[in-house]
């Protein structure tokens, strides 16, 4: 059983003296099988990611890292799947990517213009107003059809990003995630634990 978040020593970062409950010891067969995946086309992604991490650590913002990653993978056509609430950020991001020689195709979350009622969600706050659903499956399909070699997610909602990852058939990376309260910085709730910590504990109501 892997419980790495509760570890006090993190010997995996040093390569020796692993505790008996460390997955390196207790799940060695599974980890060996997982490593075999790096002998496939995933090897180049892993190699390029490691090089970009090493070269850019502490000096490149994430957008620069994504561009370096895409360039070194040979992914010249990239897809941007973005939230309607971040459309201005998506526009700026597209210009930056294009200025660095990338072809950019983009898909907004409301693509398809399908009303939420189609998936059984009623608009109770504004019943007379048209309320389109977020459509991550269609976003992934559009960018795949456009021949994008790497998809970049910008601010999709929780759950919508889950569906995107599930249905995308090419590599995906994330530029930013959605957090409407904390300026799209969800770790703010962790760093401000003295304030948010108590607000987040025991908030989920268990179903009988």
124-135 confidence digits (pLDDT tens): 767 778 889 999
Average model confidence (pLDDT) across the chain: 93
What's the pLDDT band for 208 if we cut at 50, 70, 90? low
What range defines the domain where residue 54 resides?
22-59
Q: Is residue 4, in this structure, part of any structural domain at all?
A: no
Say how many domains are in the chain: 1
Q: Indicate whether 195 belongs to any domain.
A: no
Burial of 1 (0-12, 13-18, 19+ CB in 10 A): exposed
pLDDT tens-digit series, residues 85-108? 999 999 999 999 999 999 999 999
Query: Is residue 55 a contact partner of residue 34, using CB atoms and an 8 Å limit?
Result: no
Residue 38 lies in a domain: yes
How many of the other CB atoms lie within 10 Å of CB of 111?
18
Cβ–Cβ contacts within 10 Å for residue 165, how many?
14
Task: Specify if 26 maps to a domain.
Answer: yes
Q: What is the pLDDT of residue 206?
A: 73
Strands of the chain (E only): list them.
77-82, 103-108, 150-154, 172-176
**Mean pLDDT score, 40-67:** 97
- The answer, yes or no, to whether residue 2 has pLDDT greater than 90, is no
In a domain, 47, yes or no: yes
User: For residue 54, is it within any domain?
Assistant: yes
pLDDT at position 61 over 90: yes
Calculate mean pLDDT across residues 10-17.
93
């Amino acid at each position: 059983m892997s419980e790495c978040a509760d570890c006090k020593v993190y010997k995996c970062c040093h390569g020796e003296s692993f505790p008996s409950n460390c997955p390196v010891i207790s799940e060695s067969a599974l980890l060996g099988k997982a490593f075999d995946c790096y002998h496939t086309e995933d090897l180049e992604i892993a190699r390029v990611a490691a090089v970009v991490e090493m070269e850019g650590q502490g000096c490149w913002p994430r957008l620069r890292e994504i561009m370096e990653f895409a360039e070194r993978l040979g992914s010249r056509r990239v897809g941007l799947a973005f939230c309607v609430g971040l459309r201005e950020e998506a526009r700026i991001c597209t210009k930056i990517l294009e200025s660095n020689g990338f072809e950019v195709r983009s898909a907004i979350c409301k693509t398809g213009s399908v009303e939420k009622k189609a998936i059984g969600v009623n608009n109770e706050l504004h019943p007379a107003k048209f309320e389109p659903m977020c459509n991550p499956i269609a976003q992934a399909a559009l960018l795949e059809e456009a021949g994008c070699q790497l998809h970049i997610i910008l601010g999709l909602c929780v759950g919508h990003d889950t569906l995107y990852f599930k249905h995308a058939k090419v590599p995906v990376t994330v530029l930013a995630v959605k957090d409407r309260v904390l300026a799209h910085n969800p770790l703010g709730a962790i760093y401000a634990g003295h304030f948010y910590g108590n607000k987040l504990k025991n908030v989920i109501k268990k179903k009988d």
